[in-house]
Amino acid sequence: MKQWLEKIDWWLLVLLIAFAAVSITVITSAMTGQQYATNFAERQFLYYILGFIIALSLMFISPKKLRQFVWPIYLVGNLALAGLFILPESSFTPIINGAKSWYRIGPISLQPSEFMKVILMLILANVIYRHNRFTFNKTIQTDFNLILKVAGVALVPMILILLQNDLGTTLVLLAIILGMIIVSGISWKILVPFLLTIGAVGASLILSILYKPVLIEKVLGIQTYQLGRINSWLNPEAYSEGDGFHLIESMKAIGSGGLFGKGFKNGEVYIPENHTDFIYSVVGEEFGFIGSVLVLILFLALFMHLIRLAQYADHPFSSLFLTGLISMLMFHVFQNVGMTIQLVPITGIPLPLISYGGSALWTVMCGIGIALSIFYHKQKTSDS
């Protein structure tokens, strides 16, 4: 019994319990606006219970066993995404918020694109590991071959998700791919020009939208109204009745929180859907700068723990998977917190482990469950 208990990553479980407490507390506070009759805090508690069951169940499945099933899992994930296009609208595949992106089974809604994040980490970890294992003479050509392999497995789910008009999830997948490619062993002679090109293209697009919107409209065929999200990010006051409303209210809420906040359930600024994508605005208003920083410190503790686990994992597949998980979580936190303070444009990306939502939470818990498995099945050494 003692040996079994020593194999559990208790620090990671303690961090998860802390996140659960913060999530339920903040969601409870967010509900004071009475936007909905549903008790989202109670639901989030139940989602967390199921999430812990998922994570602890995955802990007993060894990474070696997972490697044997990554391709069937990848196939099932893509079939689930494709099924949303093939199956007609029904109670099983309803249209929610204008998109058919969920399967509904009784009271539970499952979003395949969320689970594809973890599936992509698994398949890319396997592809990169096997490529490096059987590459005996590393050259620029073998690096390009690896990039083609990564692109080959990543494009299918990305296209299926883009067809759902889910840009936010697509950006998360790109963050996962980028993080895993950086540690894959590909030469920096390829990576540096690639990253600089992406940065230059992104900066050029933003500057063009800002100063030459007509050029963007002519060259890319994008209508001016479709640039509203970028324009409202750069100048929210000019779009206060539309795309800029959420951003203005979010900054008002966070700014009015001051150093210590207004207190639990004392939020005054109305922000639609504040229990989901804009949960950090609730933290800023009701718990102030101190509360906001403590939440970020909690995430930092999680990142540091996962980075250490990735460093001392006893198999390249495990290290690669953890890199993908860290990349996903970091991008989620940066994007979600950044959009509430005008650092980045607004996208529908939740704050992991804190925002309300079943599929998003269970996806992270699947990743955490595999991290628990890596620790549980790790061969103990003197430096671990």
The pLDDT tens digits along the chain (384 residues) read 667 778 889 999 999 999 999 999 999 988 876 566 678 899 999 999 999 999 999 999 999 999 999 999 999 999 999 998 888 877 788 877 667 788 888 777 888 999 999 999 999 999 999 999 988 888 888 989 999 999 999 999 999 998 887 878 888 999 999 999 999 988 888 888 888 887 887 777 767 666 666 666 666 555 555 566 777 777 787 777 777 888 888 898 999 989 999 988 888 888 887 888 899 999 999 999 999 999 999 999 999 999 999 998 989 999 999 999 999 999 999 999 999 998 888 888 899 999 998 889 999 999 999 999 999 988 654 333
- Phi/psi of residue 108, nearest 5 degrees: -105, 130
Which of 272, 328, 334, 285 is closest to 26 using CA atoms? 285
The half-sphere exposure of 286 on its side-chain side, counting CA atoms within 13 A, is 25
CA 171, CA 335: separation in Å to the nearest integer? Answer: 10
Burial of 193 (0-12, 13-18, 19+ CB in 10 A): exposed
**DSSP states of 305-330:** HHHHHHHH-SSHHHHHHHHHHHHHHH
- Phi/psi of residue 103, nearest 5 degrees: -105, 130
Which of 152, 183, 156, 180 is closest to 170 using CA atoms? 156
Residue 191 contacts residue 179 (beta carbons within 8 Å): no
